[in-house]
């Protein structure tokens, strides 16, 4: 079974703190994604990566950065957390195979910024 | 800019009834249309998916209907059960973005199946 794990299920941070969200997948997938999920807005793509040390902006990258130093690990960084970044953050991974487009999601990290 | 529009936002269906969720898209380059199911406290998981070379795909009680000319697709859940209560997301991909399969998601439908 594909497994995508996220470092924390719940996080509480203060405004202005630097926040790291970690994601690890065990299926040797090339692609990894970070989404945020908000009620009524669905899943919105923050950043994605097709390979190690490679990253591309998604639809809402402002206020976020990412790091992918190893194939299995994709980190989301909030440089200076703000209250409007309170959300559920979901990590996903997939193969690069065009015919195997399933994205496998982690359980999510619920972040509260006070 | 919302490229995939999903409705309704919430849906209540009686046990045994049919649940229908609709999505519409604008980008004619989209060529892969999955539906994801999310239970509380879990990440979304692929439920069923279709490519535009067919108009319908059925897997058990779940069916995707696809209308290429109208740029619409829908999920039908037959004989809905309380265990189907979850949030459902439609999505679309053009498969040509970099390494492929960057998904654009709809806003989600919260389905509740009542006894």
Task: Give me the pLDDT at residue B12, please.
Answer: 98
Angle (CA) B30-B35-B41 rounded to 5° is 135
Instruction: Provide the 8-state DSSP code for B17.
Output: S
Task: Give me the pLDDT at residue B99, please.
Answer: 53
> Which of A29-43, A68-82, A95-109, B63-77 is predicted least confidently?
A95-109
Strands (DSSP E) contained in chain A are: 4-6, 10-13, 19-25, 31-38, 42-49, 56-57, 64-70, 73-78, 87-94, 104-105, 109-113
Averaged pLDDT, B53-65 = 96
pLDDT band at B97 (very low <50, low <70, confident <90, very high): low
Q: Which domains does chain A have, with CATH numbers?
A: 4-100 (2.60.40.10)
The span from the CA of A13 to the CA of A5, in Å, is: 21
Could you check whether the bond before residue A36 is cis, i.e. omega within 30 degrees of 0?
A: no
| Chain B residues with beta carbon closer than 8 angstroms to that of A104 | 45
Q: What is the CA radius of gyration of chain A?
A: 13
B102 has pLDDT over 80? yes
CA closest to A6 among chain B residues: B43
Contact A105 B93 (CB under 8 A): no
> Which of A2-6, A24-28, A44-48 is predicted least confidently?
A2-6
**Closest partner residue to A101 among B32, B104, B107, by Cβ?**
B32
Fold of B4-96: Immunoglobulin-like (2.60.40)
Task: Give me the pLDDT at residue B1, please.
Answer: 56
The span from the CA of A68 to the CA of A99, in Å, is: 24
Q: Is B4 exposed, middle or buried (0-12, 13-18, 19+ CB in 10 A)?
A: buried
Distance from CA of A102 to the nearest CA of B (A): 7
pLDDT digits 0-9 by tens, B4-54: 999 999 999 999 999 999 999 999 989 899 999 999 999 999 999 999 889
Contact B89 A43 (CB under 8 A): yes
Q: What residue segments make up the domains of chain B, in order of their start? A: 4-96
Sign of CA pseudo-dihedral A47, B42, A97, A95: positive
* SS3 state of residue B94: coil
pLDDT band at B98 (very low <50, low <70, confident <90, very high): low
Chain A and chain B share a number of CB contacts under 8 A equal to: 66
A30 has pLDDT over 60? yes
Contact A103 B103 (CB under 8 A): yes
Q: Are B97 and B30 in contact (CB under 8 A)?
A: no
Percent of chain A with pLDDT over 90: 86
List Cβ neighbours of A91 (8 Å cut-off, separation of 6 or more).
A4, A6, A21, A23, A25, A32, A33, A34, A35, A74, A76, A105, A106
pLDDT digits 0-9 by tens, A32-88: 999 999 998 999 999 999 889 889 999 999 999 999 999 999 999 999 999 999 999
Strands A56-57 and A64-70: unpaired
């Amino acid at each position: 079974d594909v497994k995508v794990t996220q470092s924390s299920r719940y996080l509480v941070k203060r405004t202005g703190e630097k926040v790291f969200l970690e994601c690890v997948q065990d299926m040797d997938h090339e692609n990894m994604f970070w989404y945020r999920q908000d009620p009524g807005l669905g899943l919105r793509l923050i950043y994605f990566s097709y390979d190690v040390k490679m990253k591309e902006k998604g639809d809402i990258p402002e206020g976020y950065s990412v790091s992918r130093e190893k194939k299995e690990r994709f980190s989301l960084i909030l440089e200076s957390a703000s209250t409007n970044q309170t959300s559920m953050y979901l990590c996903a991974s997939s193969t690069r195979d065009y015919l195997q487009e399933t994205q496998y999601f982690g359980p999510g990290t619920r972040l509260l910024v006070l | 800019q919302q490229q995939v529009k999903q409705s309704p936002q919430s849906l209540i269906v009686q046990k045994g009834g049919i649940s229908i969720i609709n999505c519409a898209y604008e980008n004619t380059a989209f060529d892969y249309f999955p539906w994801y199911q999310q239970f509380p406290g879990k990440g979304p998981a692929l439920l069923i998916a279709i490519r535009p070379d067919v108009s319908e795909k059925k897997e058990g009680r779940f069916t995707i209907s696809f209308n290429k000319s109208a740029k619409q697709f829908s999920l039908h859940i037959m004989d809905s059960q309380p265990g189907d209560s979850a949030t459902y997301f439609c999505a679309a991909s053009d498969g040509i973005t970099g390494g492929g399969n960057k998904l654009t998601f709809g806003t989600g439908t919260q389905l509740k199946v009542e006894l």
